[in-house]
Amino acid sequence: MSGRSGHTAGAFDIRTVIALLFVIYGAVLVVVSLVQPHTEVDKSAGVNINLWAGVGMLVFAAVFIAWARLRPIRVPDEPAETAEQ
């Protein structure tokens, strides 16, 4: 690995946390879109807004997870030395 030392941030990477939140909200919207009455869909010109927003959030979460896995943040094993004054 080109001289890099340390370990990855893993679950503490902010991209993972954001992706998890988008997965939760996206899944809730998809479930709501499947159980909502047809009259609610008619209010939005026949477009199931909850379904499309939920799918969009799940795709966004997948992109964030892929980004975190392909380009992990490296955390050094040893603390950086502070400059003495």
* Residue 24 tokens, joined: 């939760």
* Residue 26 tokens, joined: 């996206």
b/e 51-71 (16+ beta carbons within 10 angstroms → b) = bebbeebbeebeebbeebeee
Task: Give the helix ranges, DSSP H, for the chain.
Answer: 14-35, 38-42, 49-70
CA pair distance 4, 2, nearest whole angstrom: 6
DSSP 75: E
- Domain locations along the chain: 16-74
Q: What's the predicted TM-score (pTM) here?
A: 0.73
CA pair distance 57, 36, nearest whole angstrom: 19
Low-confidence ranges of the chain (pLDDT < 70): 1-11, 75-76, 79-85
Per-residue pLDDT, 1: 47
Per-residue pLDDT, 61: 97
